[in-house]
């Protein structure tokens, strides 16, 4: 086993050296050494005196916290002394005062909804180390000794989601909206409870730097929401700032810098930027800010493809990474260290991809892994697969009217995190009025580097996967989703879980689960662990891309089945969208006999009526109807899909199967027509 582990690591390091160069491999070992040194001698939280001594001396007679707050308010997005002003009025236009209070009341009562569960804390209390899905509690052991992926039936994401501290925002909004000191007391008591149960460098909530970074961001916002609130002593605030400081110190020494860098490493750098923004003026804070900025710039080149798609090839993780870059861009501008224009343009391309993958009905396709990951969870029941709130943040940061039109207006995310930037000031606090001219939104667009295409017709929207698998991709090459005006007709099966059930995890990321052709029941790539595949031999080729005013034609092929016994199979799929009608043609070029199967997943709300063996009528709750016709008989079975992490819902599965390549080299084809009905 040890030899296999070593061989695998060498394989990753060789691949990293080829992709990033030998300097990257040197940095991998340097950061590993730094993590080990920190684990052997963890850095404790600073005392209040040590914290104050980290900053230049204040003017005699000046309170340290008052001076700290004045300096920090120039860099963090908002401060508590604005709670009764225009910003609050604009927030209330987006979420009612009653809704804000309801979020806070639910949390205060021990009701935290996340990942398909209600994490119910008895008598309003929470066990900060428990997976509420199975009851497992992680020990209060040194952080580097705690394991979390090898606990049968447990999923550590349920612990971490609660400990990201989104609830600071819910309590902060309730206080701003009501001026009720109850929410101030709730804030301080919850932080005290968390701090007592999670000593620095101890337990499950200090094992993952990504979680430390996201929590660090919310600790920064906690200072912004509540500084100046009545009843909070200076001593309490100094302990709070020491806790936030400890998050920055931990991140600096525990970067997730491995042979393959992912959204986790970006989150580490993001956390350093945000904590550095709070503590700028100290040697450490300035270092965190500068180092986080430098590394974010580097990863923009390494992880984001030239066309703006994040290389892990997951819509969910693309949103998460874009969100972090947008928040960091705003923070760095306020701190006087903006990104170079070329880097800003690269982030802007990320936002353009988001603009293009958002269907008219809002809820995005789930291609790739989907774990409900978000930084700005502004409400306990936020629609996490409606990315228009992040689109509004992009509109505020870049001043783009096309982004604002897609978002349909501003959002709480934009108001709170883009506040104070030049574009937001020029657009009346993030209303997404353009600060400069921008190109019109294309009707359809192909992202060749990322391997995705958005086809837009008159009311019909198709999002297709025409690329390799990627780190957070699934075996879904040549799959697609289909939306009408009111919502989805054909959906991706989703993710459901990671570590709780490996067999279930693999079932939903399998080839057969997706809306793409499968040959001989084989996977297009063999799974290796929870997220990777052993070899990606899809070798996708775009044969044709022709956008039109009323749709587009997309023709692609993959070679993943070239190694099948009995002769390889070349798989092609051609989409032709024109207005409200989509034609799909699957072609198989085979040198021997094989069996093919394709299924399409329909969400539970879509009613299916059979017209004849080859035709079905699909109807959404809005009354919108779509007819699907195939060149072969269509079967109907009951199944399920995952609309969000931890949630399983009923689905109807449309299937076809047949034999191909029966002793000839002639292409074998299956055709489908989907048309919206008047």
- What pLDDT does residue 86 have? 85
- What pLDDT does residue 565 have? 86
Return the number of other C-beta atoms located less than 10 Å from residue 96's C-beta: 11
The CA distances from residue 546 to 27, 549, 553, in Å, are: 44, 10, 5
Tokens representing 436 are 């400069």
Residues of the chain with pLDDT under 70: 1-13, 16-18, 59, 61, 79-84, 422-442, 662-667
- What pLDDT does residue 83 have? 65
Q: CB of 196 within 8 A of CB of 244?
A: no
Contacts of 633 (CB under 8 A, 6+ apart): 613, 614, 656
Q: CA 358: distance to chain centroid?
A: 14
Of 155, 151, 120, 107, which is closest to residue 646 (Cα–Cα)? 155
How far is it, in rounded angstroms, from Cα 536 to Cα 317? Answer: 20
Tokens representing 423 are 């574009």
How far is it, in rounded angstroms, from Cα 283 to Cα 407? Answer: 40
Q: CA 142: distance to chain centroid?
A: 29
Tokens representing 178 are 């009501």
For CA atoms 422, 425, 430, 433, the dihedral sign is negative
DSSP state of 350: H
Burial class (CB in 10 A: 0-12, 13-18, 19+), 215: buried
- What pLDDT does residue 433 have? 36
Question: Bridge partners of 629?
Answer: 615, 673
Of 346, 653, 371, 358, which is closest to residue 512 (Cα–Cα)? 653
- What pLDDT does residue 6 have? 63
Secondary structure of 26-54 in HEC code, one letter for each residue:
HHHHHHHHHHHHHHHCCCCCCCHHHHHHC
Residue 399 backbone class (left: φ over 0; alpha: ψ -120 to 50; beta: rest): left
Domain 445-677 = CATH 3.40.190.10:
no
Q: CB of 383 within 8 A of CB of 361?
A: no
Burial class (CB in 10 A: 0-12, 13-18, 19+), 671: middle
- What pLDDT does residue 285 have? 98
**Segments of 67-116 assigned E as strands:** 111-114
SS3 659: strand
Q: Give the DSSP letter string of 107-170.
A: HHTTEEEETTEEEE-GGG---TTB-TTT--B----BGGG---SSSTT--THHHHHHHT-THHHH
In which order are the strands placed within the sheet that holds 668-677? 541-548, 551-558, 569-578, 581-590, 668-677, 625-630, 615-619, 607-612
Question: Bridge partners of 423?
Answer: none
Of 673, 155, 202, 217, which is closest to residue 416 (Cα–Cα)? 217
How far is it, in rounded angstroms, from Cα 262 to Cα 311? Answer: 9
């Amino acid at each position: 086993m040890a030899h296999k582990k070593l061989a695998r690591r060498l394989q990753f390091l060789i691949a990293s050296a080829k992709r990033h160069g030998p300097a990257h491999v040197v940095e991998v070992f340097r950061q590993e050494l730094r993590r080990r040194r920190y684990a052997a001698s963890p850095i404790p939280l600073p005392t209040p005196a040590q914290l104050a001594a980290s900053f230049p001396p204040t003017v005699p007679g000046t309170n340290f916290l008052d001076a700290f707050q004045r300096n920090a308010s120039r860099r963090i997005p908002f401060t508590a002394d604005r709670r009764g002003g225009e910003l609050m009025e604009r927030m209330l236009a987006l979420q009612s005062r009653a809704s804000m209070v309801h979020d806070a009341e639910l949390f205060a009562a021990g009701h935290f909804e996340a990942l398909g569960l209600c994490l119910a804390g008895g008598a309003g209390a929470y066990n900060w180390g428990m997976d509420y899905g199975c009851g497992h509690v992680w020990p209060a052991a040194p952080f580097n000794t705690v394991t979390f992926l090898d606990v049968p039936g447990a999923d550590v994401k349920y612990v971490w989601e609660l400990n990201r501290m989104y609830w600071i925002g819910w309590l902060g909004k309730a206080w701003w909206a009501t001026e009720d000191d109850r929410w101030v007391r709730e804030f301080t008591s919850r932080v005290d409870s968390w701090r007592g149960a999670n000593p620095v460098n101890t337990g499950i909530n200090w094992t993952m730097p990504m979680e430390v970074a996201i929590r660090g961001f919310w600790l920064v916002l906690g200072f912004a929401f509540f500084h100046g609130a009545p009843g909070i002593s200076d001593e309490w605030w100094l302990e709070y700032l020491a806790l936030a400081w400890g998050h920055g110190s931990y991140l600096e020494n525990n970067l997730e810098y491995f042979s393959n860098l992912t959204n986790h490493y970006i989150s580490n750098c993001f956390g350093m930027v945000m904590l550095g923004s709070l503590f700028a003026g100290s040697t450490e804070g300035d270092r965190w800010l500068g180092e986080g900025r430098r590394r974010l710039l580097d990863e923009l080149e390494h992880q984001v493809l030239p066309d703006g798609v994040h290389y892990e090839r997951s819509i969910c993780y693309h949103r998460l990474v874009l969100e972090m870059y947008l928040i960091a861009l705003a923070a760095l501008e306020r701190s006087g260290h903006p990104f170079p224009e070329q880097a800003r343009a690269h982030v802007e391309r990320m936002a353009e991809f988001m603009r293009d993958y958002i269907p008219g009905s809002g809820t995005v396709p789930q291609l790739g892994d989907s774990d409900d990951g978000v930084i700005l969870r502004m409400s306990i029941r936020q629609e996490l697969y409606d990315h228009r709130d992040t689109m509004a943040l992009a509109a505020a940061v870049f001043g783009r009217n096309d982004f604002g039109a897609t978002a349909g207006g501003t959002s709480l995310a934009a108001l709170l995190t883009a506040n104070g930037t030049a574009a937001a000031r020029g657009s009346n606090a993030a209303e997404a009025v353009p600060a400069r001219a921008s190109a019109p939104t294309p009707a359809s667009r192909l992202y060749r580097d990322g391997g995705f295409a958005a086809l837009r017709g008159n009311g019909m929207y198709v999002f297709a996967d025409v690329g390799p698998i990627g780190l957070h991709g699934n075996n879904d090459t040549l799959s697609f989703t289909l939306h009408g005006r009111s919502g989805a007709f054909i959906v991706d099966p989703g993710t459901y879980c990671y570590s709780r059930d490996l067999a279930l995890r693999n079932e939903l990321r399998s080839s057969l689960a997706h809306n793409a052709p499968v040959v001989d029941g084989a996977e297009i790539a063999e799974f290796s662990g929870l997220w990777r595949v052993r070899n990606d031999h899809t070798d996708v080729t775009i044969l044709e891309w022709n956008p039109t005013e009323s749709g587009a034609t997309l023709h692609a092929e993959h070679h993943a089945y070239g190694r099948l016994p009995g002769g390889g199979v070349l798989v092609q799929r051609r989409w032709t969208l024109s207005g409200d009608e989509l034609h799909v043609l699957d072609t198989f070029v085979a040198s021997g006999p094989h069996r093919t199967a394709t299924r399409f997943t329909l969400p539970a709300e879509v009613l299916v009526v059979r017209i004849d063996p080859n035709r079905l009528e699909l109807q959404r709750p809005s009354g919108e109807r779509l007819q699907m016709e195939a060149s072969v008989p269509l079967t109907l079975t009951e199944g399920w899909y995952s609309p969000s992490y931890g949630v399983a819902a009923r689905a109807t599965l449309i299937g076809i199967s047949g034999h191909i390549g029966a002793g000839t080299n002639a292409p074998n084809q299956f055709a489908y027509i989907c048309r919206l009905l008047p």
